[in-house]
Structures are given as C-alpha cells and as structure tokens.
Amino acid sequence: MRIIAHVDMDAFFASVEERDRPRLAGRPLVVGADPKDGKGRGVVSTANYKARAYGIHSAQPIATAWRLAEKARRDGLPPAVFLDVDMRRYGAASREIMKMLRAHAPHVEEASVDEAYLDLSSAGSYGRAEEEARAIKEEIRTKERLTASVGIGPNKLVAKIASDRQKPDGLTVVRPDDVLGFLAPLPLRTIPGIGPKTEAALAARGMRTVADARRITEPELYAQFGAWGIDLYAKLRGAYDTPLVVEGEAKSIGEQETFAEDTRDPVMLQEALMRLADGVHAHCAARGFASFRSVTVTVRFADFTTRTRGATLSAPTADRDVLRFEALRLFMPFLDHRENPGRRAIRLLGVRVEKLQ
C-alpha cells in the first residue's frame, strides 16, 4: 500500500519573519517588494493570515496590497507591516526542516522551498502514517517554532490537495476508499494543472466541481484536451499516481523583477540582470545546491508578451560569474532586432537555473 504525505509550511516567509521579530507578533505582515507608498511595481511574496484577512495574497501587485492595507487602517484595523524578502533566513529554515523530514521517511521530494512529499508507505497503515505526521508537525513546532499543514493520501496529487484543506496547522488524512468522495465537491481549480483555460472550457459546459466534470468520458476529454485530457480524467478520480522526484532532478530556482517603469535602457537592464543572477546564485547556495547546469532568462515586454531563452552548459557549475555571463549572453538579443524587432520596452526580467545538484 502506498501512503504519501505532503508537508507545506503555513505562510512560510511571513512565519519566519514573525518568529525572528517577536516585536511583530500578532501584526498583519506582508513580505514582498517595496510598496513605495503605493507606487511600488513588484508583487507580494506572501502575507500572514492576519494580512490575508485584508484580501492580501501571494503574487498580488504590491501596490494593491498597500491600498488594501491603507483601507484596513482607515477602518480602524491594525496597520500592516511590509517587509523585504530575506531569502537567506528562509533558506536556512527550509534546510533545517528538510533535514528533519528526511529522518522521518526513506524518500523525500523537496517540491519547493516550503513543501515536500514523503513516502510513508513503510508505516504500513493510514493510522500509523497519521501518527508519524503528528510527530513531524510537533518536531517542526518545537525545533523551528513554525507550523506546517500535512495531507496524507495514496498519491502525491491527493496528498497535496489534502494538505491545503485545513490550513494553517492542519492535518488531513484521505484513505483510498475516501478519495472519490473527498474530491467530488471541490471546485475544479483545486486540481493541480487545471488553470484558467481548462476551468473556462469546463465552466462553458456548466461544470464547476470535480463531480460535475466526472460526467465527461475519457475519449471526450482526449478529443477536447489531447494528452492533458487523459491526465485530467485520472486526476478527477484521484487516480493520478506519479513517483517522488528525489534529489535535485527537475528542480529550478529563479527570481524576477518588475521595473518601476517599463524601460529600454540597456545599462539599467544589465544591472537588473546581474542583480537577479546574484540573487539566484545566493538562493542556490541557501538551498544547499552545489551546482546548476542550465540557465533561462525571461523577458516580459510592456504589452505583457513574455519570451524565454535558455541554455544548457557543457558542465555543471556553481560559479557566479558563469551564471552572470550566461544570463547576459541569453539576454543580449532582446536589446536589438534579433529578439525585439519592435523595440518594445521591457517590464520584467527573470533569471532561472535548473538541473541542480
């Protein structure tokens, strides 16, 4: 019997800040770009649950978060505190947590800085896996002074959906016999992989929940969505089973920056690119990676069209200058007619490394 747990830290960056700055305990916190009194152009990385009550959330423009915080303040609610991202401290906490998790399971997939899948099959039963999950949560609470939410199920898909059901500090166990019923009432967007497009296509047929979409046959889904339709059929039934990806494979680390104003200024752009490359390099070290082997640069133009260019290096490296050089080489064509014939201004730059070890 396969038993998989998904561990996901609660409001991770914000929780680390609350822990490390007792003065801020109990305040609404927003971690992300500089709000610049409402004129900032970056985004929210995360917000604690008190700030989420104001409508603030990850990936929201920081200016929107600022506006919501101002509104709450005018309504007499506690003012929100805006904090810069401090990846080094979050990376250190992440490494400690991953180390703890590896002591609880033979196979652990580090899915991102704050989440991991554990193979708990050796526990032998869902009851014992649940006890193990309680022990993990308790260890994270006492040693790191942070809370995590855990989901347990027969595969990664179900475990991931389960971990999100009772946040924060939740524990949700979905036994094999309960999978169909557990998923049935959930909105379609809860299923990883169902984005706005698939959601809209299904909504056009009057389908909002997982149970609704189960009325479509597999051949029909294939006809409409191709190979994704086959995966979707399995996912709607919680029968989508993929192996844990252990150690480095298929992982990436990236950073991006939205400019205060769209720009064509090559000096400014190159400086931003170097900042991003250095940030990614530091982030890699913070996550404990010894090397990377591929580099990707993302460019979003003023009209929001987005392009990427990537390269795989001849050998793995940890050299910051190699990363800077590759990022610059990949970016140069965006400064002239090769990748930017209309001389569009640039809104956002991103740098990402993959094939980590």
Could you list the active site residues? 115
Instruction: Give yes or no for residue 253 binding ligand TTP (CB under 6 A).
Output: no
On whether the CB atoms of residues 93 and 16 are closer than 8 A, the answer is yes
Kind of pairing between the strands at 115-119 and 81-83: unpaired
CA gap 305, 300 in Å, rounded? 6
Instruction: Give yes or no for residue 117 binding ligand TTP (CB under 6 A).
Output: no
Instruction: Give yes or no for residue 8 binding ligand TTP (CB under 6 A).
Output: yes
CA gap 200, 101 in Å, rounded? 38
Kind of pairing between the strands at 29-32 and 81-83: parallel
The continuous run of DSSP H or E covering 136 comes out as: helix 126-139
Among 5, 8, 162, 277, binds Mg ion (CB under 5 A): 8
CA gap 38, 275 in Å, rounded? 23
- Sign of the dihedral defined by the CA atoms of residues 129, 134, 138, 144, in that order: positive
Instruction: Give yes or no for residue 59 binding ligand TTP (CB under 6 A).
Output: yes
Instruction: Give yes or no for residue 97 binding ligand TTP (CB under 6 A).
Output: no
Among 4, 5, 40, 46, binds ligand TTP (CB under 6 A): 46
Kind of pairing between the strands at 148-153 and 171-173: parallel
How many residues form the binding site for ligand TTP (CB under 6 A)?
Answer: 15
Instruction: Give yes or no for residue 17 binding Mg ion (CB under 5 A).
Output: no
Taking the complex as a whole, how short is the minimal distance between the CB of residue 46 and Mg ion, in angstroms?
A: 8
Taking the complex as a whole, how short is the minimal distance between the CB of residue 52 and ligand TTP, in angstroms?
A: 8
DSSP 23: G
For ligand TTP, the closer CB: 45 or 155: 45
Instruction: Give yes or no for residue 82 binding ligand TTP (CB under 6 A).
Output: no
CA gap 13, 32 in Å, rounded? 9
Instruction: Give yes or no for residue 298 binding ligand TTP (CB under 6 A).
Output: no
Among 73, 102, 167, 355, binds ligand TTP (CB under 6 A): 167
Among 114, 255, 257, 354, binds Mg ion (CB under 5 A): 114
CA gap 28, 18 in Å, rounded? 10
Per DSSP, the residues of 242-270 read -----TTTT-EEEEEEEEEEEE--HHHHH
How many residues form the binding site for Mg ion (CB under 5 A)?
Answer: 4
Question: Binding string to ligand TTP for residues 200 to 239, with x set by CB under 6 A, is what?
Answer: ----------------------------------------
Instruction: Give yes or no for residue 212 binding Mg ion (CB under 5 A).
Output: no
CA atoms within 13 A on the CB side of 315: 3
Residue 46 interacts with which of Mg ion, ligand TTP, none, CB < 5 to 8 Å by class? ligand TTP
Instruction: Give yes or no for residue 259 binding ligand TTP (CB under 6 A).
Output: no
Among 3, 5, 7, 9, binds Mg ion (CB under 5 A): 9
Instruction: Give yes or no for residue 161 binding Mg ion (CB under 5 A).
Output: no
Instruction: Give yes or no for residue 12 binding ligand TTP (CB under 6 A).
Output: yes
- The residue written with tokens 């309680």 in the block is 134
On whether the CB atoms of residues 229 and 213 are closer than 8 A, the answer is no
- Closest CA relative to residue 212, chosen from 233, 230, 188: 188
Stretch that binds ligand TTP, among 10-18, 137-145, 305-313, 314-322 (CB under 6 A): 10-18
Residue 52 DSSP SS3 = helix
For Mg ion, the closer CB: 283 or 347: 283
Residues that bind ligand TTP (CB under 6 A): 8-13, 45-46, 58-59, 113-115, 167-168
Residues that bind Mg ion (CB under 5 A): 8-9, 12, 114
